[in-house]
Chain A
Amino acid sequence: MTRDSVGYPAGSRVRVRTGDPDHHTRVPRYVRGHTGVVVAVLGDWPVPDDSARGIDLPRVETCYAVRFSAADLWGSGDHTVTVDLWESYLDRP
């Protein structure tokens, strides 16, 4: 699957979708609903939610490294946490 342009270029602010699917997913609970910044565009890979369910043609989507501040995630801490997230896990804030 090729793309003419990347959905969220580096530097974009993105918000992680909420929701608690009853199937396998790779959105850690601690970032759901939070807003971060794209620090890198990683690659186009099969979405784990689909591959885990043995779907023959899983969606292939761009995966992004998204950075969150500890202050936003936990209310304290001066560190950042960068999580790799597929495009369908994200929305514009």
Chain B
Amino acid sequence: MTGHDDLPAAARTRRLEERLIAAGLTSDEEIDGFLATMYATASPVNGATMVARAWTDPRYRDLLLSDGNAAAAEMGFDGLSYALRVVPNTATTHHVIVCTLCSCYPVSLLGPSPGWYKSFAYRSRTVREPRAVLAEFGLTLPEEVKISVWDSTSEARYMVLPARPAGTGELAAGELAALVTRNGLIGTALL
């Protein structure tokens, strides 16, 4: 137990795994299986699919904004481990999501979170100077667009409903979903 902090993280991880496996608390199969499932199912395509439907189906949009979990279940994403709350960008309001306390994130609908989302810089600055943070992503919003920052401090996880880009009226559902980026779902990009 002593001195193990000096080992590289990879060695410490393997040592911890071996101890837990020996104690019967997990197995290599379980860990491998968890990762395989996550890689196969957790993706921003999920959130994008929900957004695309909301753009074309007013009833679904209303459901998405009033009961995110029910809306997710309708698209086959049931059993979410969090309360999904979706917030819509408008002509005058742009939403941005952060978790200042630790980096909570809706992994099942957006995939694993990007490194920058977990950084001290993003966690500390987004609530204080969101325009400057968005500028670092290459996003400059007009003055009249106000920014609404959401700090995910509870069981709720937030996702942005981006505004539908102009000139997309003829696109099919799959093409619309392809326009929705992960950063658009977090609020650090427009589409």
Q: Which residues on A are within 8 Å of B, measured CB to CB?
A: 26-28, 30, 40, 42-43, 45, 63, 65, 70, 73-74, 77-86
- A-B pairs with beta carbons under 8 Å apart, 10 shown: A26-B153, A42-B85, A65-B85, A65-B156, A77-B128, A77-B129, A77-B130, A79-B149, A81-B150, A85-B154
Number of residue pairs across A and B with beta carbons under 8 Å?
65
Of A43, A81, A86, the residue contacting B127 (CB under 8 A) is A81
CA distance A31 to B60 in the complex (A): 34
Q: How far is the CB of B149 from chain A (nearest CB, A)?
A: 5
Q: How far is the CB of B34 from chain A (nearest CB, A)?
A: 23
A30–B153 touching, CB < 8 Å: no
CA distance A86 to B156 in the complex (A): 12
B155–A63 touching, CB < 8 Å: yes
Q: How far is the CB of B152 from chain A (nearest CB, A)?
A: 7
B153–A85 touching, CB < 8 Å: yes
Of B100, B129, B151, the residue contacting A82 (CB under 8 A) is B151
Taking chain A's interface residues, is the majority helix, strand, or loop, or is none over half, making it mixed? strand
CA distance A42 to B131 in the complex (A): 27
B146–A83 touching, CB < 8 Å: no
B155–A74 touching, CB < 8 Å: no
Query: In chain A, what residue has the closest Cβ to B150?
Result: A82
Q: Which residues on B are within 8 Å of A, measured CB to CB?
A: 83, 85, 100-101, 127-131, 146-156
B154–A28 touching, CB < 8 Å: no
| Additional 15 contacts, C-beta under 8 A, given A42-B155, A73-B127 | A26-B154, A28-B100, A30-B100, A30-B127, A42-B83, A42-B85, A43-B83, A43-B156, A65-B156, A79-B147, A80-B146, A80-B147, A80-B149, A84-B152, A84-B156
CA distance A48 to B127 in the complex (A): 22
CA distance A36 to B128 in the complex (A): 16
Which residues of B sit under 8 angstroms from A74, Cβ to Cβ?
128
Q: How far is the CB of B73 from chain A (nearest CB, A)?
A: 16
Which residues of B sit under 8 angstroms from A70, Cβ to Cβ?
128
Q: How far is the CB of A39 from chain B (nearest CB, A)?
A: 10
CA distance A27 to B100 in the complex (A): 10
